[in-house]
Structure 1
Amino acid sequence: MSVLNLPVFSCSLDPASRSRDLAFMSSELLRRQGHRSEVVDLTEYELPAFDNAQVFESTSFTALHEIISGADGVVLAFPIYNWAPAATVKSLIEATGATGQDGRRSAWFDKVVTFVCAAGLPHSYMAAAAMGQSLMLDFKCMINPYTAYISERDWEGSNELEAGRADHLAKTLRVHAELSELLADRTYSSEWEI
């Protein structure tokens, strides 16, 4: 087994975020498998709203683009608001996924991507489907078919997951690492293409 670079992005701006807790749990599970995994907390980056112009001058854009580009796989941990992923995760993808002038290239091409979602209720478990489809079709990402969807009902106490959900989170991240390793030696490289 090779040591992979598998960052986990905490995509919530809420100071009491459950998805941030899940990001740290996810990173720890990946490190226990022997991989490099840092939590990239978007509260520390102040990424400007995507405007397809000034955002590219931001030091936050440069740093986040570099982290994603250098990753073997990416975990996105985010809250579900109004039956959809939080706007912060979409803004991250829009900025670091943009390709344009001056040799700018999307950081997302051919990445293995896993979703770890925090939600209030268990009903919106398919909320990330459209985002997964976009990553797959636009950037030829491999979307992990295992999504860790954790609702408020799945927590025991302040920061312990119910055993079944903890097991599912662990399995989701084992699959993430395995897919990332299997695809590390892919023979192709994708660009914008339909």
Structure 2
Amino acid sequence: MGHSAKGVRGRPRSEAVERSIVEGVLKLIEDGVPLADLSIERIARTAGVGKATIYRRWSGKEELFVEILRGIDDPPPELPGESMRGDLIVCLEHLRRRGVNLRSSALLHNVFAQMKSLPKLWQAYHATVIEPQRRVLREVLRRGVENGELRDDVDIVLANDLFVGPMLVRTVLRSDAPLDEGLAERIVDSVLAGLRPTG
């Protein structure tokens, strides 16, 4: 191991270790091991590393799982920032694609289904993935009020749910409903019809 101590070469080594840990977790999940049974010890054994190696990188299972879920997900979209309508469509298109991924990936679907019964993991996922996305959307709506694209008496938190809700209903509750290409645009325009300033 001595030769890898040249500073520069240390980083790829640690990336390789992280990759083997993540792949170890994914393999265990694919093999049908429930998330609740995935101890750090078992993950370390599968990845061929010591427990301390995992704890050096992640505070525990929740943080590790959330990072893995984030890695499977598309990164958050870049918002064009030219109009509220355009930004909303980009945000919803991101949700639509995630929905398509969730349907097509048995692994993702399985993880999401189990996560609901693990409150700590669900909270961690909410805090690190869902809440930042909701903040972005609320900011888009707030800018919409400022530039006159949205009525100033609109409840921003409720409006957020009005835009996001239809996509989540189709993804989570109605898995047979189409998640077709133009859906994000249709949802945004339908909701905006009721929330735009009149006259």
Q: Shared topology, TM-score over 0.5?
A: no
Range class of TM-score, shorter chain: under 0.3
Structure in which a larger fraction of residues adopt helix: 2
Please report the TM-score for the alignment, with normalisation by the length of structure 1.
Answer: 0.28
